[in-house]
Chains A and B, each alone.
Chain A
């Protein structure tokens, strides 16, 4: 069954490449294959540079209140207009990249590390350890993520760190599930048994031998997930459970501007910022997946 699929796919890929080959140059093929991923990576790099250099590129201080300049439409003085307190929207947008990127990357990395640890140990140990750990994972998964994060954030009190804790609690289980599945596949491969036979301990086998082989799908999930984390954090901030008010943050900016239909610039640009970053991470994640799994490339 699997063999025939592999063969038919190989035939398809070959046929497809045969069709493309005469008419397309190397550059065109590269663009077809990695174009979107490159765009995604570029968007992410630009936003990261913005986050790092925000104090130097922002035209104003992000929390500079000037009530004589309230709700001005975009102009040459304020490129993206001003908000209800007369703060410059562009400056707040640029500073906002710091919070959003920092929080979401940290949450995803820590969540992935913990999840991979739990899932890896569960799959490798087996027996009641696996059973216990996976039931625990199921328990967290049985709550709708945003609702549980809201409940925890509300219980802990408003603040960036508390929101990160709340997100971490709901973040790790999917990594645990994926890592367990990946390690289970690898566990009975010959090279793992060989490593055992040489006398390597379980920690070393798991970390040095199994993990590198199971890493691909995990990296894809991590990349796609940063985008998701940005949306969830912005959502919590939008609900008033993220950052403490004067902090410039995209979700909070949309929230502050959501009643101002006439002054659309207050909310629109912050949302657009979220959209572009998330799109960047989605492009990059899809690109990495295609690169790691040539079978998916044709889809």
Chain B
């Protein structure tokens, strides 16, 4: 076990290191000279000013030396300065991360809480209306672009029916709770402010439902397929043959085995939800990392884009690592390979 864990940790660390190299290479291979963009045409026509600037920003150094500087800064938590906000990228990320984590986590919980029971029932009652319903929902979730779903949801529930609150984490007239964790739900509970808690929860409904649509579809399909496969196995037949009640057969024998592949998928889904909020946040004016990435991309704010890419890659790696480790806990056969 220890050997497996250390092996996986080492691989993840190596990949993270390589990820920094990839991000660095993308930045340095950008067509167009950053110096000229910074100086403007007049100053850029004078070679001595250009040379001075190159020396100042370290652009005259060989590539590997530039990478080394980039790397040492990175280990000190320095991701560079954002061009559009004129603040350190890391400070921006710290400010916007809680909103994204809150949204992604709620969407994840929704897709698990709805998706798994939905898939199980669909498998047990195959070809019933529940099954058809599950198929229909997952079809919509998998086939429609999330930015379009977000638009439709806002138009219908906010614009026409006016039963949902508008975009944003709270209405403009509401005051956010005093910051403790950055999550409005937790912070308002800590402050004992029920009204704000309700308002924040209310604002979360549409964006989290839209965000989880695709994941919900995948988890439902996966649970259903895995459950059907398990129900056809011999040990399930044995359990039935020895006279167990159907409920005991499903909950005690089929379900634990059917859920193993779902765990892997769920882990990856969480990673995708956290890193895939760009469109949803943009449409719902959600002040999180996704909208920050979108704005940086629009203004071609390279330090911010690269910082975000790197952070997202590391989140992705960590969650994948956790999935692998939990997989080993659930299924001891993994260790023997």
Let me know if A178 is at the binding interface, CB within 8 A.
no
Let me know if B251 is at the binding interface, CB within 8 A.
no
Let me know if A45 is at the binding interface, CB within 8 A.
no
B297 touches which one: A150, A254, A264 (CB < 8 A)? A150
Task: Verify A150–B151 contact, CB threshold 8 A.
Answer: no
Let me know if B206 is at the binding interface, CB within 8 A.
no
B67 nearest CB across to chain A (Å) = 16
CB-nearest residue of chain A to B313? A143
| CB neighbours of A139 from chain B (8 A) | 15, 18-19, 22
Contact indicator per residue, chain A 37-54, by CB within 8 Å of chain B (1) or not (0): 000000000000000000
Task: Verify B148–A274 contact, CB threshold 8 A.
Answer: yes
Let me know if A247 is at the binding interface, CB within 8 A.
no
Give residues 262-305 of B contacting A (CB, 8 Å): 271-272, 275-276, 278-279, 282-283, 293-294, 296-298, 300, 302, 305
| CB neighbours of B317 from chain A (8 A) | 142
- Bound-state CA distance A234–B144 (Å) is 11
CB-nearest residue of chain A to B237? A8
CB-nearest residue of chain B to A154? B297
Interface residue stretch chosen among B92-100, B181-189, B226-234: B226-234
Let me know if B121 is at the binding interface, CB within 8 A.
no
Let me know if A76 is at the binding interface, CB within 8 A.
no
Let me know if B27 is at the binding interface, CB within 8 A.
yes
Max chain B C-beta neighbours (<10 A), residue from A146, A153, A234? A146
| CB neighbours of A152 from chain B (8 A) | 26
Give residues 147-172 of B contacting A (CB, 8 Å): 147-149, 151-152, 154-155, 158-159
User: How many pairs of residues, A versus B, come closer than 8 Å at their CB atoms?
Assistant: 148
| CB neighbours of B151 from chain A (8 A) | 254, 257-258, 267-268, 271
Task: Verify A254–B308 contact, CB threshold 8 A.
Answer: no
| CB neighbours of A190 from chain B (8 A) | none
- Bound-state CA distance A167–B142 (Å) is 19
CB-nearest residue of chain B to A277? B143
Task: Verify B155–A271 contact, CB threshold 8 A.
Answer: no
Task: Verify A150–B148 contact, CB threshold 8 A.
Answer: no
Let me know if B316 is at the binding interface, CB within 8 A.
yes
- Bound-state CA distance A240–B300 (Å) is 11
Give residues 214-238 of B contacting A (CB, 8 Å): 224-225, 228-229, 232-234, 237
Task: Verify A274–B145 contact, CB threshold 8 A.
Answer: yes
Let me know if B312 is at the binding interface, CB within 8 A.
yes
A194 nearest CB across to chain B (Å) = 30
Let me know if B47 is at the binding interface, CB within 8 A.
no
| CB neighbours of B282 from chain A (8 A) | 239
| CB neighbours of A113 from chain B (8 A) | none
Task: Verify A8–B145 contact, CB threshold 8 A.
Answer: no
Task: Verify B302–A154 contact, CB threshold 8 A.
Answer: yes
Let me know if A275 is at the binding interface, CB within 8 A.
yes
SS of A interface (majority)? helix
How many A residues are at the interface, by size bracket?
Answer: 35 or more
A146 touches which one: B142, B149, B159, B278 (CB < 8 A)? B278
Let me know if B31 is at the binding interface, CB within 8 A.
yes
| CB neighbours of B209 from chain A (8 A) | none
Task: Verify A143–B312 contact, CB threshold 8 A.
Answer: yes
| CB neighbours of A264 from chain B (8 A) | 155, 159
Let me know if B257 is at the binding interface, CB within 8 A.
no
- Bound-state CA distance A267–B16 (Å) is 39
Task: Verify B148–A254 contact, CB threshold 8 A.
Answer: yes
Let me know if B105 is at the binding interface, CB within 8 A.
no
Task: Verify A261–B154 contact, CB threshold 8 A.
Answer: yes
CB-nearest residue of chain A to B147? A238
Task: Verify B279–A148 contact, CB threshold 8 A.
Answer: no
A5-B233, A239-B297 are known contacts. Are A143 and B309 too (CB-CB below 8 A)? yes
- Bound-state CA distance A279–B31 (Å) is 38
Let me know if B322 is at the binding interface, CB within 8 A.
no
CB pairs A–B below 8 angstroms (16 shown)? A5-B234, A8-B232, A139-B19, A142-B317, A144-B272, A146-B276, A147-B293, A151-B23, A151-B306, A154-B305, A239-B279, A268-B152, A275-B144, A278-B145, A279-B139, A282-B143
- Contacts A156-B30, A271-B148 known; list 9 others, CB within 8 Å: A147-B308, A147-B313, A151-B305, A153-B297, A234-B147, A238-B279, A240-B297, A274-B144, A279-B143
**Which 6 pairs between the two chains have the least Cβ-Cβ distance?**
A271-B148, A144-B275, A261-B159, A279-B143, A278-B143, A151-B309
